[in-house]
Structure 1
Amino acid sequence: MTAPAIPPAGDYWLRDVRIPATPAERLARVDLRIASGRIAAIEPVGTAPDGPSLDGGMALPCFVDVHTHLDKGHIWPRSPNPDGTFKGAIGAVMADREAHWSAEDTRARFAFGLRCAYAHGTAAIRTHLDTYLPHGRSTWRVFAELRDAWAGRIDLQGVSICPIDRLAGDEGAALADLVAEHGGVLGFVTRFTGGGHDAIPPGFQDLLDHAFALAEARGLDMDLHVDESGETAAATLPIIARTALRRGFRRRIQVGHICSLSLQPDAVIAETIALVRDAGIAVVSLPMCNMYLQDRAPGRTPRWRGVTLLHELAAAGVPVSVASDNCRDPFYAYGDHDMVEVFQSAVRIAQLDHPLGDWPNTVTATPAGVMGLRDRGNIRVGAPADLVLFRTRFWHELLARRQSDRTVLRQGRAIDTTLPDYRELDALVRPDPG
């Protein structure tokens, strides 16, 4: 791609640009006026008298990655998953956390992930943070430092993550206080310590009500890891929805994964989706990570992709996002914090095409709404001129290639999209010298 010659200063027109319309699959060919770092006008193509031209290429709003694990990222070289399973991932991460997660180690890997995401065109990230006290206090301090350091480049939100039973008693109150102190989101996984996402454990409802009470008392949103397995007995999602409805919970709730929903009987699926819709719960799917972990067994080809029922949820009016989840750690060995890759993968894995419809919003407007970010996820007059520019002219072109030659604008200016070198982490993760 010959990059458009974006002016280094001053106001300008960006001519002949295709931007998402309604539905997002449609593309409107326009000229954009960029002034004082914002979109000052959107006019029919041919309006602008001068300025760099995209020659009909696409522009998307900078991306919103609403489910990540930046504190775990990039530990694969020193702590790979021994067998690629969910259980293997948990064991490897727990061992690595105990052995290595100093503030300096976490900060370096976390910042590396932010640099990758920024270069790829992401402007907002919600990251889950392993919150096991007392260690979690250090992780949240690192998060707060990086959130402040990256302000204006990436809007960063933090979410606690731990098994739900860790929220009981004094530890749960202290954990929730820690989240509130840092302006975070209360999160947990719907399994007990040492267990998997299988049969619903005894006492789950009482613990769930306690978790809701912790959030209510502190005015916190909630973001939960739910039913991340192929076990139909793992059906905590309808319990979560009924609890939110019964309590009249007024804050935002997002649930991630809900892999087992796609394996439930049709009647259970219909009832669960209706409850989720009525409770105002948003869903995020992590297609790359779920496809990597779910239905894995030695010497056996997987029969199931692990993704949840995106089409059915969206058709019912449930807000649906897709996100990157883990990156180069035991839960997912690959990835580069690139939302173009995430969207391309989601389209292919979950068949989000024919028509593409509004599925592009799953990495822009919808997650921006979940995070409460009014200035993210849309190209509109008054919004920041935070755009990702592509030489490609149509969705089928964008979905076909890696788009490694994209141009990223922040406040109307082209940024350096050079990715950080993995060698920067060598001293921490000790890659194989071979």
Structure 2
Amino acid sequence: MTGFAIPTTSTFWLRRAAIPAGTLSVDAAASLGEPRHGYLYDADILIENGRIAAIEPAGTVGEGTDLQSRIVFPTFVDMHTHLDKGHVVARTPNPDGSFTGALTATGADRAAYWTAEDIALRMDFGLRCAFAHGVGAIRTHLDSFAEQAEISWGVFRDMRARWQGKIALQAVALTTIDQYDTPFGADLAALVARSGGILGAVTRMSGVDHGAIVEIDRLLDLLFAQAKRYGLDVDLHVDETDDVAAFTLPRIAAAIERNDFTGKVTCGHCCNLALQPDSVAAETIAHLARLGVTVVSLPSANMYLQDRHAGRTPRWRGVTLAHELKAAGVPFAFATDNCRDAFVPYGDHDTLDSFRFALRVSHLDHPYGDWAGAITQVPATTMGLTDCGLIAVARTADLVLTRARSFDEITSRPQADRVVLRGGKVIDQTLPDYAELDGLTEAAPRTLAGPSAA
């Protein structure tokens, strides 16, 4: 960060930091008074031996690094990604940009190339990008079909161990909902339990795009039964379609109650909630709030895939009802989703970039409020992380220092000159070179049996 000298000593002050609402502990926020512009708390932050030792009103101290009211975030929490799919766009692109095209391309790429070595190379590349951008925790979905499940989960377990202390990693089994009506569904739940993972599914049937599922209630019951058997949380891909009739979100809420499920439930995407009649949407949202279900919006993916038709401009945004969900008390997060694959051919595992996009797409302004918590505190709480996603006394000094002094500056420039502190120390933010991935297109194809991927 040009112009800011971050000390290398064990104790130092960061003066005049601007901390966004939603990323600051309740006690610290109360001690700092009213936030500037309604969403930025001005503070002096004391860092001692890698932890935050004090948070005082700006101007309390006269010595230290003066951030000149620049915005400081805690490291980001990206709770919906697909690290196993990433960075294959050059070798297996989406043929037409559609959801069906993404399914077809991903299935072909997985069947041809997804050895443990291939997944590990791409996953490590993605994690190095995320770390350099200031991401402290990631939840990734893993395509979990037939023989592929054992391969991908094995790679994930190794990556989780290798990245411990840098990025906290969680994984979710991603399969179609009908797989829980087969012996494989039981085997998959056992694998997830052995791997310390989260049980998941996409609410569509194998080999087809989204649509109404006649037996959705029974299939959800089978999934929740396996989750209860092993004490697993659940994370679902839900309603990625503009088909109003294919609306499973209220069915999920009903299944949680019917099965007396007490674990955490997360629903990602929830696209067609935005197309439901107001009364139906309100009733569904209230039900989710009562149950404490977390909803995650993925604007990058949904803006790319939803309402895509050749030669026709999309008529709707594809994103879910962020304002209504949050106002009702539903825990709400934004995340990056796919990166440089058939579902989203763009991105760099940068949660701040996804937040900048969400600010504009979902109108998170006038006022800005505490939306920054949607990429920090809320996902950290859902993921059960106790030293991540929040700026608070006694927390590890894992911080992202930007040049921006307001969210309009955040949205106007990519903040490529941000500085990331981990344990109070500046990290090397050199991004991996794309040339490292050149060999991916030369990998020997392989044959893998099993149904098509989600």
Q: Which residue of 1 aligns with 2:39?
A: 26
1:278-297, aligned counterparts within 5 Å? 278-297=290-309
Q: 1:186 Cα deviation (Å)?
A: 0.3
1-10 vs 231-240, which moves further: 1-10
Q: In 2, Cα distance between the equivalents of 1:316 and 1:56?
A: 32
Cα deviation code 1:167-203 (max 9, x no counterpart): 223211110011011110001001110122112x232
Q: 1:62 Cα deviation (Å)?
A: 0.6
1:223 paired residue among 235, 240, 243: 235
Asked if 1:61 is matched to 2:97, the reply is no
2:329 paired residue among 317, 323, 335: 317
Structure 2 gap ranges (5+): 22-28, 444-454
Q: Which residue of 2 aligns with 1:47?
A: 60
Q: Percent identity between the aligned chains?
A: 54
8 Å contact 2:39–2:368 — kept in the other structure? no
Q: Which residue type is aligned with residue 27 of structure 1?
A: L
Q: 1:277 Cα deviation (Å)?
A: 1.3
8 Å contact 2:20–2:370 — kept in the other structure? no
1:170-319, aligned counterparts within 5 Å? 170-199=183-212, 201-319=213-331
Q: In 2, Cα distance between the equivalents of 1:318 and 1:28?
A: 24
Q: Which residue of 2 aligns with 1:167?
A: 180
Q: Which residue of 2 aligns with 1:356?
A: 368
Q: Which residue of 1 aligns with 2:164?
A: 151
370-379 vs 151-160, which moves further: 370-379
Q: Which residue of 2 aligns with 1:17?
A: 17
Q: In 2, Cα distance between the equivalents of 1:234 and 1:177?
A: 30
Asked if 1:4 is matched to 2:17, the reply is no
Q: 1:49 Cα deviation (Å)?
A: 4.3
8 Å contact 1:3–1:407 — kept in the other structure? no
Q: 1:146 Cα deviation (Å)?
A: 0.6
108-117 vs 22-31, which moves further: 22-31
1:396 paired residue among 398, 401, 408: 408
Q: 1:20 Cα deviation (Å)?
A: 2.3
* Two-structure CA RMSD over aligned residues (Å): 1.4
1:119-158, aligned counterparts within 5 Å? 119-158=132-171
309-318 vs 62-71, which moves further: 309-318
SS at match of 1:28: strand
SS at match of 1:106: helix
2:357 paired residue among 339, 345, 363: 345
Q: Which residue type is aligned with residue 320 of structure 2?
A: T
SS at match of 1:33: strand
2:121 paired residue among 108, 113, 118: 108
After TM superposition, the runs of 4+ consecutive aligned structure 1 residues lying more than 3 A away are 21-25
Alignment coverage as a number of residue pairs: 430
8 Å contact 2:71–2:406 — kept in the other structure? yes
Q: 1:31 Cα deviation (Å)?
A: 1.2
Q: Which residue of 1 aligns with 2:423?
A: 411
8 Å contact 1:17–1:58 — kept in the other structure? yes
SS at match of 1:298: coil
SS at match of 2:287: helix
Q: In 2, Cα distance between the equivalents of 1:255 and 1:3?
A: 43
Q: Which residue of 1 aligns with 2:446?
A: none
Q: In 1, Cα distance between the equivalents of 2:281 and 2:321?
A: 9
8 Å contact 2:102–2:343 — kept in the other structure? yes
The two structures have a TM-score, normalised by structure 2, of: 0.92
